[in-house]
Each structure stands twice: as C-alpha cells, then as structure tokens.
A and B are shown apart, each in its own frame.
Chain A
Amino acid sequence: MDFGSILSAALSSALGPQAIVFALAAIGLNIHFGYTGLLNFGQAGFMAVGAYGLAVTVVTYDQSFWLGVVVALVAPVVLALVLGVPTLRLRADYLAIATIATAEILRLVFGAVETREVFGGSNGLTGFAKTFQDLNPYSGPLDLGIIRFRPDDLWSLTVGWILVALGCLFVWLLMRSPWGRVLRSIREDEDAVRSLGKNVFAYKMQALILGGVFGGLAGLFFAVKQASVVPSDYSTNITFYAYTALLIGGAARVLGPVVGAMIFWFLMAGIGAFFSQATAGSDPLIPTWAMSDIQASLVRLILVGLGLMLLMIYRPQGIFGDRKELAIDAR
C-alpha cells in the first residue's frame, strides 16, 4: 500500500481539470438550485450543448475555434429558453423530470448512428482544440513534489481556475445585487415575490439561462481539456455527481460548488486509488473472492450514492451552507 501515490492521485484530481469541470457545472447548479430553487436535473444537457457547440462548429462546419466558443455559449441560452418556457411555470418535480428528459434526448441524438455526419456518432468528435493547445505558454511540467502536471494540463488548469474564479466573483456580485435578492426570495416564497409585482417567470428564466451558460462553459472546458467530445460523457450521472459536489460544499454559497467539487474529486480519486491498490498484485490486501479489480472501481460510485443520501438527510447545507437560509423544503 503506497499512501504517497494515493494522496498524489487524490490531490491532482482535486486540483485537476476534472474538478474544474465539476466546479463550473456546480456553479451553474448553484444559481439554479441554491439561489433560485429550480431543480435542474439536466445540467448534463447544458454541458453537452456547450461541448458540441464548439466541436460541431469547428469540426463539422469548419469554422474558427473562437466562433465555436461563441456558439458553445449561445447554445445553452437557446436550450434554457426552449426548456424554460414550458416548464418554469410548473412545480419543481415537473421541471426536474423535463430537464432530465431533455438531457437524455440530447445525449441520444448526439450519439445516434443517423446523425453521425454532424455529431460523430458514439465515437464523438475530435480535432477542434488545436487553437487552444497552440496558445499554451508553458514548456515544462510543474513539479510540486507530490503532484506533477504536464504542460498541457498546466495550461488547462490555468485557464480553468481563472474561469472558476471569475465565475465565483460574478456570482458573488450578482447575488448581493437587488437582482440576486429577488432570486433568493423566489426560492423562499414565490407568491410573496409575485405580490410585490415582480415577474417571477422572467427572473426564473434569467436564472435558468445564467446557470445554463455556466453548464455550457463546463462542457466547453471539458471538451477542450480532453480535446474530444463523446456522448457517453454527458450522461445523467454527471448531473447527479455535480449535485453531490454542490451539496458537499454547500448550496447558496459562492464558494460552495468550488470547494465541493475539489472535495468530491479528492475523495473519488483517493478512494479509487486506494481500492485499486488494495486489489492489485498477486497477494492483494482485499482477497480476490471479496473484491475483484473491476468491483474495486465501483466502490467509490457506491459511496457517492450513499454519501449523497447521508448528506441530504443529515447535513443538507453541506460544509459552508446555512441551514436556515437553505429552505429546500419551502415548496
């Protein structure tokens, strides 16, 4: 058992590109769920249109990378409008079902054999990230002793964490503005806000769009960082994991999603590395009859499910949240 390498895997995940993807997605969910009380279970769909917006523009239609980035940020806005008009007037659980269904529709259509010409089928699309990679100013790796990042990772990290920081700053500014206060009041009591003459539907729509754009940004970063888009990466599970990350950190807190994503990936990678070591080799720590190496890779996912349940039951406010503020049960 090499605890150094386990710690190294956990730390590099917590600081690595995966955590950035989830931090961005969770910032979006925080706007939806934490501040406005919208139960968006389709963040994977917003991420997918962001990622495919870039990839399709560059690969299929042979346009520039920067136009692709614009498309990737406009596509979630369109999706939010299309999705919001029928569902935002409905109860929270209807919105949840509609968004999760939309995310699945998008994933199925993107991965279908029949749309392979445009979306690349189940193999997805590659070869759109060259502009981004060429901008990389780093030539050598970053070696911090226990963790080490390659130059291309380092470049993704720099851009990613700057995005996350800007996103947090943006959310912080927004939520202390009058606009942000209206959002919070909608979460607490929609009818009270309505009685004050505010157009609740419009505010909800704006929140859905804004959070969706963060989802699109997460998808965009995901696509650029691994230089490919694959439909199976945008399954419903990614939404659920992003929720878990958000709830670990604490909903309705500016830094909640970021810290949550880091802790989520620290645990995911750490537990994954631990069990993969514990079942590896000729004389594994855990005997093979109890756990094979394939089963070892599932333990962390079992724990995610268990963790999400326990978190929601015993500490719904997460690490930073304020239980009094977060009246999840308002409606």
Chain B
Amino acid sequence: MRLTSKVLVSAFLACLVVLVPLGASATSTPTPSASPTAPTAPATPPDGAYIGVTLQNSGDDKAPIPGATLSVASASGTEVGEAVTDPNGRAFIAIPERGSYVVTLDTDTLPAGIQFGGSNKRTVDALLDGGNFAQFQIGVVEQAGPSLGERFSGAMVNGVKFGLIIALAALGLSLIFGTTKLTNFAHGEIITFGAIATYVANRAFGLPVILAIVVAVLASAAFGWLQDKFLWKPLRSKGIGIIAMMIVSIGFGLLLRNLFQYFFGGSRESLSQYVNQTRQSYGPFQLADKEIAIMAVSIVVLTITCVVLMRTRLGKSMRAVADNPALSASSGLRVDGVVRSVWVLGCALTGLSGGLLAVNSQVNFLMGFKLLLLVFAAVTLGGLGTIWGALIGSMIIGIMVEVGTLQIGIWPGVPSSIKEVGALVVLILILLIRPQGILGRAERIG
C-alpha cells in the first residue's frame, strides 16, 4: 500500500558542517551564494565559514528534499541566516565565526506527504580547522557513521599527507638551524610566501597550477637568497648574537605577515585547478588524485634532498659548517657561501610545502604562522638540526595530529577544533624527557 509507506516516510536531516579553512574536499568555490528565494539553481557555499545542510528523505532512497527552509541562530539566540534547500536538498548558511549554532528546520515548508519525526532543531558546533565535516542526524532513522576502521584509514591518509608537507618545511627549518643556529620565527611566513606565490602565478599570471608551484619554489629560493644577502648575512658580519637574531626574526615575521595581509587580504582563496576532487578507493584508503600527487612530490623531493645532503660535496660542506664553522673556514670552506646556499635550499623546500598546502586546501595570509609551532614541534621531536630527525618528527606530528582526534578505546580523542594541542603537548613532553629529540646527539644543551 502506498499509503502506509507515505506515513512511514520520515525526513532525514544531515548537517554537514563544512569549514572552508581546510575544507579540501568541500565544494568550495569563491562565488557568491545563491539567493535563498531561488532554489532552482544549485546552491553554492559562501566564502568563509558556513554551515552546510543536506536534506534527504530517508524513507525514499535518500531523495533530496528541495524547497525546505532552514534557519541558523547563534547559541545565544541571535538569528544568523536562513536558506532554502536547492534541488539537491542542499543549503548553505554563512556564519560569522566558529562557535555553536542551532539549525532549525521549518517543518511547514516540507513538501506535502513528508512526515517529520523527532526534533526539528539541531545544535551544530562549527569548528575551525576541524577535519572537513561533522554529521548529525535528525529524524527516526539513525544512520550508522563510518566505522572506526574507515575513520582510522582516513585519518592516517590525512596524517601522512600532512606529515609529508610539514616535513618539507621542517627540513628547511632544520637545515637553516643546523648551519646558522638560528631558530627562525619567520619560517612560517616562508610557507605562506610559497603559497601566495603559487596563487599569484596561478591566478594573476594564469599559469597552470603545476607550473605555478615550480615558479613559487623558484621565487622562494630567490626570497631565501635575498633574505640572507640583505638581512642575515649583514647581521652575522655585525656579530649580532643568536638571541638578538631570534628577536629580529620575530620582527621580520610580523612584518611579512602584515605585508601579506596588506597585499593579499584576509580572505581564503582557492587556486584555479584541482579544487574539487572526489576521493577514490585504493584498498582501505580513500584518496583524491591531488593527494596522491602531493604525497608523491613530497617523497621524491625529500629523497632527492636527502641524497644531495648525504652524497654531494655541497651536502658535506653544509654538515661541516653545521658542525664547526670556524674549523670549516680555516679548512678553506667558504662558510658564507655554504650558508647562502642553505638559505636558498631551505626556503625553496619551505616554499614548496606552502605551494602543496595551497593545492591541498586554500591560501591565507596566516596559514604558515599557524603551522610554525607544529613545524617547531616536528623538528624538536626529531632532533634540532638533524635531517632524518626532521623527517621522522614531521611524520609523527602529522599522524598524531590527525589520528589523535579519533576516539579509540579509553582514549577520548583530542577535540578536532584544537587538534594541534596534542602535538604541542608532545613538544613540551619531549623537552622534559629527551630534549635533544629522537635522533639528536645527547650533547649538553642546557
């Protein structure tokens, strides 16, 4: 009987809280959102943070429900926005900032014949940087979420990818630290520089993304050369101490960060290609093509860099300078030349990590600064100044940040809005237990 099925039909509401910040797989293109009164066109997500809602009929093969009105209010009850679901049953409501929001479904606007069970309100916690989406269900049918295994493999993929990207930046930092002993607080801005250079080459000069990254790496290398030529080299000659240089790097970081915001603006921007890629299954793992490419490029570049550092004359001289600059100089090494090439190489690697991050998610003037402490954590964990330590530390930090959010057994899981906290706690613990890091030599560092 059709009649009974009609009664049994219940609406099924899944709220996808999609956050643009790292919303790699989110369907985010920087176009204005569709007007709520025109539900004939597919809705597009707005710039910035938003709440995305998909409305499906759980009794009817998950058919989308168009034309239903949803409103979003902040936790204190202030109305934030309203939207009508499009033909795909989707609606996007921009939210001013992260926080808790109440999504209300206006049951009167549901198409005739659909009966709705359960509460029509749902509290949604919009988390910054938090994965990509969180799922909530309203209605009679509770659909099982992805299994622990699926979530684990997903987190592993993200963690390995994140770790590899960090590893490039960490290797850059570690190289520069190793030869100059400078803890560079402006290192995050070199990541941002790489990302913005990629964006400019791609959007302003119309280069394809892959070429744009190459340009960005070259630009970052040039940036490193210029930095050493006009800032760090004169400071070294002036005999300014390491701590003073560290404070100079803080000032330099502030300067660059605000310059980036001045010229680039405060928004998040996407590159022109590879924004939206669906993930495909490879055994237990779900990967998008661009993620495979990002990981492959990172691995190849890291391998080449390590081989160069282990085998070539340049690598040998870098290690000599790192070990004892005075002795290297007296053995006839051009120490300043070696340091210059370290700055070039380190900044190129770091710029590449910025470019890959831009492809992975989006470009923002703060993206590098947000990563700075994670890169520090990775480098400290592995051992400051050691090449392999930077790689191992990065992989551990990357995987820990992503997998640590899973709730496994008695482990409650780090809340995904503050998933970096775990890595920072490890940073402090490692300083307590083994300050020289996993691979660092147990020399006196206190």
Contacts and interface: CB of A to CB of B under 8 A. Distances in A.
A247 B98 contact: no
Give chain A's interface secondary structure class: helix
Interface in B217-263: 235, 238-244, 246-248, 250-259, 261-262
Contact of A308 (B241, B250, B424): B250
Nearest to A304: B254
Given A113-B415, A114-B415, A105 B247 contact: no
Contact of A328 (B125, B126, B241): B241
B262 A104 contact: no
B258 A305 contact: yes
Interface bracket on A = 35 or more
Contact of B125 (A92, A111, A113, A244): A113
Contacts of B427: 97-98, 101
Interface bracket on B = 35 or more
Contacts of A285: none
Contacts, number: 147
Contacts of A312: 240, 244, 247-248, 251
**Centre residue among A116, A299, A301 by max chain B CB count within 10 A:** A301
Nearest to A83: B428
Given A116-B100, A243-B250, A313-B238, A302 B435 contact: no
Given A96-B183, A305-B255, A104 B243 contact: no
Contact of B183 (A97, A108, A123, A307): A97
A128 to B, nearest CB: 18
B417 interface: yes
B349 interface: no
Given A98-B431, A316-B244, A113 B252 contact: no
B380 A97 contact: yes
Interface string A290-322: 000011001101101111111111001000000
Nearest to B424: A101
A122 B125 CA distance: 12
Contacts of A97: 183, 373, 376, 380, 427, 431
Given A90-B431, A93-B183, A329-B241, A109 B251 contact: no
Given A98-B427, A328-B244, A329-B243, A122 B373 contact: no
Given A294-B266, A331-B243, 14 more contacts: A94-B431, A97-B183, A101-B376, A104-B424, A113-B98, A116-B100, A298-B261, A305-B255, A305-B257, A308-B254, A309-B251, A309-B255, A328-B241, A329-B240
